[in-house]
Structure 1
């Protein structure tokens, strides 16, 4: 086949074969993810965590709040493989039920951060001017607040036994990071030739933003948000450990780790299992974020 004939083949076509449709970034990314063992392992582990968060009764039949002081700090026994904590509660049941709070906080906080930061940063980057200046200065203020110190102050005032105060705090301090990522991605996308061509053909700002800029600027936001999800789960456990995050009777890995820390020498199993579950969960989400980043960034292939 000569050079002229080769130039006439559409993208994805082969000589003598059917013409294929051009592959998009998302189809290429999905193809890379399916072949990445890191993604498969982390996705299966996260799926398992989500399932037991929704239906913990599938793998445990013990009430995590049912305690027997007569079995305080006892080791494993048939039907209770992780032993008992200081109050005589089943550590296995509390470890399983603790996944619900951590996964709920991580997913809800990530969605809130991605929506708030993505919309604010995207609009500021697209329109520029005073909106961009206000966003940048506001983000600088929030970046200057230490996360743990901010949590101690904010959550000591906004009390509650549900996950929503913790989610609200994470969204409050987490959106500036996503906003900056979204702003930079939009600034790059809106200078592309296809956007300038659409503008020259009379496309309005709404159509440009929704049809041309946003779909090509959302990938960095997804990558950063996916990696940050594991960080938010660890932050919830840290705040609960310090006594300002989730509070009893909510079952949380951070609460169990805090209660087990003084007894680590006498009953290390109380600390081992919730801390191991927390570490495995954070690792799974960070591995998933790394795999998504590698798939969505063509320069890393």
Structure 2
């Protein structure tokens, strides 16, 4: 005869043993905690990150962007040359082992100027993008959530700014506050360029945010939060904003590349950044008269400019495909 205690132990299944289907107990009760965590559903950003990691285009563009950001933050890591002062004795000297990109008209090292030029171009683009997203996004949230006459007034104001030609509006703003008779410092000039880019670009962001808010504010979870007594601020910050950021992330990434090109365009026309500020647009403007005799003066800053713009545009395209469920 067997021991009753032993029989009870043998006949009783372990608490963590998975039961058969239809018993009502969870089938993953015996799985370790790490397996349970892996089975948790991912959100929108989690799915987007999983898709981005599989795209070579994302890693290539992100690597170039990281390189340009480090170059702008720590230019001394890439060169020890002087980007401002030069010697006329080596004016327009061609690339060599001593100067990889040659020397410009004033005998300054082109390689050092290209490295230091990344700072002004990227700083202007990033700050302009942040300002545009904050101001345009705020206007879009107010217009879309309030509706009525508030939406009508803000939309008509946005239409006025949207109708201004970009180059013409920039010329008016920059020549008014940064004319030939004014003596502004480096950061003042950069601030004026950032202001002009922000003023002329916020209506697009406002329209994107407004359309996202209009499509989201009548969702069931918004209605439930409003019925439970949630205030306007809580609904906007906790519910509307996180679910409306996807289009802005995509557009903001592409906008950085566009603003790098816009800053170069304004500097090339002579109404943007000016010497002694070092930027790619200024270098291209100074090299335009020597394109036949010294094409390297134009080639190297233009190549860095094109690579930077393409990197941000490709990153924005990869993010758009990752955030759009229809393109997965």
TM-score range, shorter chain: over 0.9
What's the secondary structure of 1:89's corresponding residue?
Answer: coil
TM-score normalised by length of structure 2? 0.86
Residues 5-33 of structure 1 show CA distances to partners (whole Å, capped at 9, x for unaligned) of 6x998xxx979755422211011111111
Measure the CA separation in 2 of the matches of 1:100 and 1:79: 23
Q: Does 1:126 align with 2:145?
A: yes
Aligned with 1:175 (options 202, 217, 234): 202
Q: Does 1:255 align with 2:282?
A: yes
Measure the CA separation in 2 of the matches of 1:107 and 1:192: 33
| Matching residue of 1:152 | 171
| C-alpha deviation, 1:186, in angstroms | 0.7
What's the secondary structure of 2:94's corresponding residue?
Answer: coil
Measure the CA separation in 2 of the matches of 1:14 and 1:270: 66
| Matching residue of 1:214 | 241
| Matching residue of 2:253 | 226
Measure the CA separation in 2 of the matches of 1:15 and 1:37: 38
Change (3 A) 1:191 1:16: farther
| C-alpha deviation, 1:230, in angstroms | 0.4
Q: Does 1:289 align with 2:308?
A: no
Measure the CA separation in 1 of the matches of 2:255 and 2:318: 13
- In the alignment of these two chains, the number of paired residues is 296
| Matching residue of 2:12 | none
Aligned with 2:128 (options 109, 128, 132): 109
| Matching residue of 2:71 | 52
Aligned-pair RMSD on alpha carbons? 2.0
Measure the CA separation in 2 of the matches of 1:53 and 1:100: 4
Measure the CA separation in 1 of the matches of 2:115 and 2:314: 21
| Matching residue of 1:242 | 269
| Matching residue of 2:8 | none
Runs of 4+ in 1 over 6 A off after TM superposition: 13-16
Q: Does 1:192 align with 2:219?
A: yes
Measure the CA separation in 2 of the matches of 1:259 and 1:15: 71
Q: Which has the larger radius of gyration?
A: 2
TM-score normalised by length of structure 1? 0.93
Measure the CA separation in 2 of the matches of 1:61 and 1:193: 59
Measure the CA separation in 1 of the matches of 2:225 and 2:25: 25
